[in-house]
Structure formats: C-alpha cells, structure tokens
C-alpha cells in the first residue's frame, strides 16, 4: 500500500491530537497544526524538504507563540489567598483581643474561627481583613483606612 505524503502528514497530525487528548499537553496541538501545515504543503505539490520546513516553522512557531502568550499573563494567587477561589478573602472581621502566640478567636459567619496575623508590626485589636485561609484558620491583616 503506497500512501501519498499528505496522508502521512494527516496521520501524524491525528496521532498528535490523540496523544494530546490522553495527556492534556496543549503544546501537542500546536505541533499537530504544524503537521497539518505539512499536509497542506504536500497537497500543494511541495517537495518533501519543503513540507518538513513548513511543518517545523508552523508547529514550532505556534508552540513558541503559545508559550510566550501563556507566560506573559500574570499568575493568579494561590488558592488559599485567591478571592476568585474563596469568597471570604477580602471580608472584614473584628478582633477583640490577641493571644500572646499571635492568634485570636473571632466570630465569622455564625461560627468561631481562629485567626492568625499576617500584617506588619504587632497585632492590635480592631477591624481586620481576611487575606488568606489555611485549613480552618483565617489569616488577617489590619484593615486599611478608607
């Protein structure tokens, strides 16, 4: 069975997509685009060398563009301090007294919580903002003046 070169390129593109679906590596889709470009070049009658160059340029270029686009975006905060993940981040609690170990007990959402201090200087009683949550402990910083 003698397959045309374009068919081989399409098979490679399909295999790359299948491996990407199994592994979740998005970069393999960029390489599949390169293989598809090689197949199109084969359909247009390009030589084998030209097909390889087209596939490499398109696949490598798409991979590089995706890499730079992905790493230019700012990274999101870790889940424990990300208000998009935990809606309690940014809420206000009132601390009446701090213990010597830098913790306090506060009432928040109908329950008693242990809070830890994440601000600068020594903790003082008053209004504090939740900046992170570690397990069942709220981490707070002094509330900024309006």
At 21-72, the pLDDT tens digits run: 999 888 899 999 999 999 999 999 999 999 999 999 999 999 999 888 888 8
Asked if the model's pLDDT at residue 78 lies above 80, the reply is no
- Beta-bridged to residue 137, according to DSSP, are 114, 134
Q: Count how many residues are written for the chain.
A: 146
- Domain chopping of the chain, boundaries: 5-72, 79-142
Q: What topology is assigned to 79-142 in CATH?
A: OB fold (Dihydrolipoamide Acetyltransferase, E2P) (2.40.50)
pLDDT digits (tens, 9 = 90+) for 104-137: 999 998 889 999 998 788 888 989 999 998 888 9
What pTM was estimated for this model as a whole? 0.54
Show the tokens assigned to 129. Answer: 């903002």
Residues 104-133: b if buried by 16+ CB within 10 A, e if exposed: bebebeeeebebbbbeeeebeeeebbbbbb
What are phi and psi for residue 78, nearest 5 degrees?
A: -60, 155
Q: Are 17 and 2 in contact (CB under 8 A)?
A: no
In this predicted model, what pLDDT tens digit does every residue of 5-14 receive, in sequence order?
Answer: 999 999 999 9
């Amino acid at each position: 069975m003698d397959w045309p070169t374009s068919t081989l390129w399409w098979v490679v593109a399909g295999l790359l997509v299948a491996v990407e679906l199994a592994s979740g590596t998005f970069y393999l889709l960029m390489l599949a685009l390169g293989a598809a470009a090689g197949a199109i070049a084969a359909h247009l009658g390009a030589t084998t060398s030209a097909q390889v160059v087209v596939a490499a340029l398109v696949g490598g270029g798409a991979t590089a563009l995706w890499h730079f686009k992905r790493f230019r975006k700012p990274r999101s905060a870790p889940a424990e301090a990300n208000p998009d993940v935990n809606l309690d981040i940014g809420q206000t609690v009132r601390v009446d007294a701090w213990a010597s170990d830098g913790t306090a007990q506060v009432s928040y959402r109908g329950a008693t919580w242990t809070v830890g201090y994440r601000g600068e200087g020594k903790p003082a009683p008053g209004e504090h903002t939740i900046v992170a949550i570690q397990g069942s402990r709220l981490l707070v910083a002094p509330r900024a003046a309006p």
